[in-house]
Chains A and B, each alone.
Chain A
């Protein structure tokens, strides 16, 4: 198991500071937005003043509408400033931890501290990837052991007369054939999972960068729709996606830990059921059917539990690799499309990603 120090992945560590030019829209870019909006308003006022002189009084109404849109841009910048400040100030570990969605390793024990949404999402993804490597190692060893195939042969011949059969293999080749596509799928999904770590580690940076670009672009009429699209993408990748990952992968990681704990309990009970005192009770009560049944049922129950919980454990990894990313991207795509459309320029996040791929 790799040490829980994912600081190398946490590019967003400085995201919530007010002095980083690349990650802080507040100190550097907000004044640019206000200056740009004021400059445009000044131009519009000039147009409104000149309009009667050139005999185009309809330009006054047009200029007023455009001026209101510039005011809306400044209002949006103030709203996003407030929104970003709230997001940076709130530590979701408490809120999500109260409903059991934060793995015990995430609040910084021995590793990188988690004090915002982005750190929590990266921590969850990192822990999940560690679980994947652990399960992958287990699957590898199982398939390796299962591939030892004995061969049976027998011969009853005398002087060239008789019967024989040879080379009857108790082959597990079908399992190897079935495991091959499983491994291909598994490795493909692991690449997707690692891609998500990269995306999450830069999500806070993208949140600040894209929203900043979007607000500035929105101040100018020509680039307004482009700015709207950037704002939608910034909120989608920078806020919605880390929130989704924190909730869904938090659930997967905490359930994984609970199942591991239940496995340990089953193993303990199995050892107790096979322990000296249990065997002694069994032997002394050998002629009592109830004793035999109780002994056998306890052992059977724990063996069954160990098998079932192991399968469940591996299945949770499969859920996190296949089902959860699909769910997250469906919701993220819906959000980006609808939010960008409401701002004036529809764009699809999934078409962008699949187009790149």
Chain B
């Protein structure tokens, strides 16, 4: 009851928002665009220096300086190798010269920056397009913001609405299953619970409650993960470049850069396609219930109408019809959960493989994503 009242109050408060007006001056909503533009009520959520790429220009110059110093040291080592006729030193020096040039290439690539990354985004979007005709956003802030909005609209909002109406359904079926008819005048007779059989529907609702909670938790976890990746992983890129210049810390630097490329660029680009793929998908069960059109399912009114249909079974004492209708209706909601989870699984698998691939290319051949899970959970 408490949760229902809370949601009812929130719903009433939301009514003015339906007119799409803006809050008083200086105030703003916490939204996906606010998360990734780092401003809520004019206050930053992450240190502005982290959010501003321009802060890293000092790190780039430092990395170039370190590479230059390494070239000098490597030259000295090569000279020592010639003086002592020591092939190991000469081979080491040659390898380090090549690695130094690779580091410079990485720095130049980063300095190319947004143009190069936007091209990468377009390329990845084309590779993993599922034929929706949508184009991937051209900047990372827009990409992350759009992905967050899609997840919010298609996992969080349906999850909350499902949660509210499951609660109402549970309350209704709890009351009717507890309904008792007393035919015991003077203490002798029988008592009947004619609608006790609808307890079966309550069991279904418990399961759906769990799925709705999982949907909310998964959506929330995904948004937080995107938030952390967006702000933390660029630091890894620049730290990786700096560490990669030293032969002793090259593996760590390579691992940093591999993580950046796989999770900052590829993961959201692939995930984005799955969050938009079903916006134009027609749901076969929608024709059975007559609730959804191809692009507008579900809505709050739609959910209410759908669950009311299930109540018709009560009038005819048809538990089977009620359970079937309930399952059929909520299956539409969990279709969104399934598609998003599938997208998340595929995105993570591809990203982990890319971490290992780029790690091998960048001097960290032993960086393992999935292998670590096996080591921890075996």
Contact = CB atoms under 8 A, between A and B. Distances in A.
Nearest to A346: B366
A296 B23 CA distance: 8
A269 B372 contact: no
A152 B378 CA distance: 48
B50 A99 contact: yes
Contact of B41 (A240, A262, A332, A351): A262
Contact of B182 (A101, A162, A174, A247): A162
B135 interface: no
A198 B328 CA distance: 53
A323 B24 contact: no
Contacts of B14: 300
Nearest to B18: A293
A46 to B, nearest CB: 21
Given A160-B182, A319-B228, A350 B366 contact: no
A297 B186 contact: no
A350 B372 contact: yes
Interface stretch (B206-214, B265-273, B319-327): B206-214
A297 B22 contact: yes
B130 interface: no
B2 A99 contact: no
A327 B28 contact: no
Contact of A294 (B21, B40, B259, B367): B21
A311 to B, nearest CB: 7
Contact of A338 (B29, B178, B181, B251): B251
A335 interface: yes
B53 to A, nearest CB: 11
A163 B176 CA distance: 11
Interface stretch (B281-289, B295-303, B357-365): B357-365
Interface stretch (A31-39, A117-125, A253-261): A253-261
B133 interface: no
A348 B372 CA distance: 11
A248 interface: yes
Contact of B86 (A68, A150, A240, A290): A68
A84 to B, nearest CB: 13
Interface in A337-357: 337-339, 341-342, 348, 350-351, 354
A304 B184 contact: no
A271 interface: no
B250 to A, nearest CB: 8
Q: How large is the interface on B (under 10, 10 to 19, 20 to 34, 35 or more residues)?
A: 35 or more
B359 A334 contact: yes
B230 to A, nearest CB: 12
Contacts, number: 226
Contact of A163 (B2, B41, B88, B179): B179
Given A255-B231, A335-B252, A160 B186 contact: yes
A255 B51 CA distance: 11
A318 B86 CA distance: 53
A159 B186 contact: yes
Given A258-B46, A338-B364, A331 B252 contact: yes
Contacts of B181: 162-163
Chain A contact residues: helix, strand, loop or mixed: helix
Given A338-B363, A338-B364, A327 B259 contact: yes
Given A251-B50, A309-B30, A335-B364, A354 B248 contact: no
Interface in B171-195: 171, 174-175, 178-187, 189
A284 interface: no
Interface string A206-238: 000000000000000000000000000001000
Contacts of A98: 49, 55, 58
B47 interface: yes
Contacts of B182: 157, 160-164
B178 to A, nearest CB: 4
Given A305-B40, A309-B30, A168 B184 contact: no
Contact of A334 (B88, B235, B364): B364
Nearest to B179: A165
B41 A305 contact: yes
Nearest to A178: B213
A309 B30 CA distance: 8
B368 A334 contact: yes
A351 B374 CA distance: 11
A178 B210 contact: yes
A161 B210 CA distance: 39
B209 A262 contact: no
A83 to B, nearest CB: 8
A305 B186 contact: no
B72 interface: no
Nearest to A98: B49
Given A168-B175, A262-B40, A262-B43, A301 B372 contact: no
Contacts of B46: 100, 251, 254-255, 258
19 contacts: A68-B84, A150-B1, A160-B185, A161-B183, A165-B178, A235-B248, A247-B235, A255-B45, A255-B47, A296-B15, A305-B41, A312-B224, A316-B224, A330-B255, A334-B252, A335-B251, A338-B365, A339-B249, A350-B376
Given A296-B15, A330-B259, A334-B368, 18 more contacts: A99-B49, A99-B56, A160-B182, A160-B183, A160-B184, A162-B181, A166-B180, A167-B178, A297-B24, A298-B24, A298-B27, A304-B30, A312-B227, A316-B224, A330-B367, A331-B367, A334-B251, A354-B378
Q: Which 9 A-B pairs have the closest CB atoms?
A: A100-B47, A296-B16, A338-B251, A334-B367, A337-B366, A165-B178, A100-B49, A335-B252, A315-B224
